[in-house]
Structure 1
């Protein structure tokens, strides 16, 4: 009953209430972000949502668009600013996703929306995580966030979708708030950003370079078709 009929209306109400209450902070971060990033303070990226329908996730920008002499973006650790690190460590960069929830692309609680280039490397069983709306936070986020392996993270997602309850979602929300305040499990140890699933599988020798290239090409095709 909750998952099928009540979760979406509650998500809409909670997102709308949060936007109204946090509007001064959202405006402040938009203005400061425009100054710090020297331009558009928002970052949008295609992500696979419910039933693998691709939508544009919106966040506050944490990295600059600095490029090398050949026009290629510099590495993440170079482009990630001190302000961006602050946004990530406090999870404030995630606040614009409230508008994704309002629109219906996301839920308050659910599996986190991964990159399209992560989805294509998942097994058919793992891709079942996209049978529900992706969430602002989820079971994997309160169980280690980016500090756990990909297999463990997706395992938590699959565990969540098997039994979605109101009390379960409330518990995840409260635990998430506690972890955000403690800045717990934000990134992998020694990494500025989480490793892509394909890169992880290739480095572990779980896929071949040929399979890696084929799946990367599939991801680019899916994104092009969604634009």
Structure 2
């Protein structure tokens, strides 16, 4: 992070991240163990989905989540997100339980609880200079864009909200985002883009997990 964009809140924010992630990992350990067994039975191995994502300043890290999709299989006709996402995977996404392993990324310092969502490495060359400012802070498990509608928010608006968060991050804003996110998870709104099972890729089409 550049010195010009550091805020006094950032150190306290990191303390919150470590404390909450550590407690949440312990508290959800039985749930994660049970989910790992169910994912193994439904989708096979590996249980976890890992993908390289850009973190703060664009530095890559490996994001971890529970798998929700089958592997690409041309013989079986499993290519698109719609074909690969199982009913079980849809339920995991609607409840956001697939995100629980991401707490490890928070504890490690790859991510924050609140911040712009980490997207695909391929997007780095597609951002405008303004949009690229979303990487001035650690990416988050949830963020202002997610609290404002999750995947129902168009890409351009999502990036504008990400930059707005970078400029205005504070304890009060983080608390508001956390509450709004919890309400959205409980009501299961905004899980996917209208007309899609996930979210269309920004700027181009590709076959990918689509879990953004």
User: TM > 0.5 between the two?
Assistant: yes
- The aligned residue for residue 203 of structure 2 is 198
Inter-partner Cα distance in structure 1 for 2:182 and 2:156 = 24
Aligned pair in 2 of structure 1 residues 77, 159: CA closer, same or farther (>3 Å)? same
Normalised by the length of structure 1, the TM-score is 0.84
Over residues 151-200 of structure 1, what are the superposed CA-to-partner deviations in whole Å (9 max), with x where a residue is unaligned?
10000000011011111111111110010000011110110121111128
- The aligned residue for residue 4 of structure 2 is none
Contact kept? 1:2, 1:166, Cα under 8 Å: no
Which one of the candidate residues 48, 52, 58 is aligned to 1:46?
52
Residue 88 of structure 2 is aligned to residue 109 of structure 1? no
Inter-partner Cα distance in structure 2 for 1:182 and 1:136 = 18
Residue 97 of structure 2 is aligned to residue 88 of structure 1? no
Contact kept? 1:15, 1:102, Cα under 8 Å: yes
Normalised by the length of structure 2, the TM-score is 0.90
Higher Cα Rg, which structure: 1
Over residues 128-165 of structure 1, what are the superposed CA-to-partner deviations in whole Å (9 max), with x where a residue is unaligned?
10000000000000111111111100000000110111
Can you give the 5+ residue segments of structure 2 that lack an aligned partner in the other structure?
Answer: 1-6, 207-212
- The aligned residue for residue 130 of structure 1 is 135
Aligned pair in 2 of structure 1 residues 128, 66: CA closer, same or farther (>3 Å)? closer
Contact kept? 1:2, 1:165, Cα under 8 Å: no
After superposition, residues 158-197 of structure 1 pair within 5 angstroms as: 158-197=163-202
Over residues 20-71 of structure 1, what are the superposed CA-to-partner deviations in whole Å (9 max), with x where a residue is unaligned?
11111111101111111122111000110001001000010000114113x9
Contact kept? 2:25, 2:103, Cα under 8 Å: yes
Which one of the candidate residues 34, 39, 50 is aligned to 1:33?
39
SS of corresponding position for 1:140 = helix
SS of corresponding position for 1:9 = helix
- Which stretch shifts more, 1-10 or 161-170? 1-10
- The aligned residue for residue 157 of structure 2 is 152
Deviation at 1:3, TM superposition (A): 2.7
